[in-house]
Amino acid sequence: SDLQKQAERGELLQPLIFILLVSCSVLLYFKVSLMDPVFVKPEEEAEVYHFMNGRKCWVTAQVPSNITLRRCGYCLVKQPMRAKHCQLCQHCVRRYDHHCPWIGNCVGERNHPLFIVYLSVQLLVLLWGGHVAWSGLHFEQSWDWLKHNIVLLVSFLLIVIFTIVVLLLLISHLYLISSNTTTWEFMSHHRISYLRNSELENPFDQGVVLNLWRFFC
């Protein structure tokens, strides 16, 4: 059959990979949207810690010792450092980055790495879709051509716009991650006490390689 011949020539491989990427993008979208970004619970201690080699280790940052971690004025929990209250989610979020209307959820400590993976896969899908749409356009200066290709042309323009948005968003996030800074900290540096009163411009920066390693691994 024709389908079998196409499979033997490898012509079905690219459509299958594209469908797989689209499916992966949709699954990542729902995963990031529904995932708990780590909402601060009332019973949690204010100190920030992590586990290393099976032991609880305190995360140290070169911040002034006179800074008092404040209690949230909305949900009344003690906020760990780098946490912020999201009025849309009605919770304080650990290592708060931003509330993304695209996914309808906060991007925080737990789902931030997966959010970057989602953006990367989405960018691949958009670039591939843009290439397919462009390959189907054979420009002619006539109204008949425009009438028959208007849907494809509009689709291509929308793909270009979304590609630029996702690309800029991904680049900006990777830049902030490489310096161990969140979007909230970058935008509100002058209003955050542990940054405003610190002797260092960014007390959490431990070098590009270590910042990337600790974020993704």
Which pLDDT score is estimated for 181? 94
Mean pLDDT of the chain: 82
Tokens 């879709």 correspond to what residue?
Answer: 129
CA distance 176 to 60: 19
Q: Is the pLDDT of residue 122 over 90?
A: yes
Q: Which 8-state DSSP code applies to residue 93?
A: E
Tokens 């729902």 correspond to what residue?
Answer: 30
Q: pLDDT (tens digit, 9 = 90+) per residue, 33-42?
A: 999 999 998 7
Most confident of 40-44, 55-59, 82-86: 82-86
Q: pLDDT (tens digit, 9 = 90+) per residue, 66-82?
A: 455 678 888 888 888 89
Q: SS3 helix, strand, coil % of the chain, rounded to 5?
A: 50, 10, 40
CB 31 within 8 A of CB 116: no
Q: Which residues contact 82 (CB under 8 A, 6 or more apart)?
A: 48, 94, 95, 96, 182, 185, 204
Beta bridge partners of 92: 85
CA distance 136 to 152: 8
Average pLDDT over residues 115-143: 85
Q: Which residues contact 90 (CB under 8 A, 6 or more apart)?
A: 74, 75
Residues acting as catalytic residues: 100
Please tell me the least confidently modeled range out of 57-61, 133-137, 152-156. Answer: 57-61
Token digits of residue 59: 């995360």
The residues spanned by each domain of the chain are 2-216
Q: Is the pLDDT of residue 14 over 50?
A: yes
Token digits of residue 93: 């979020």
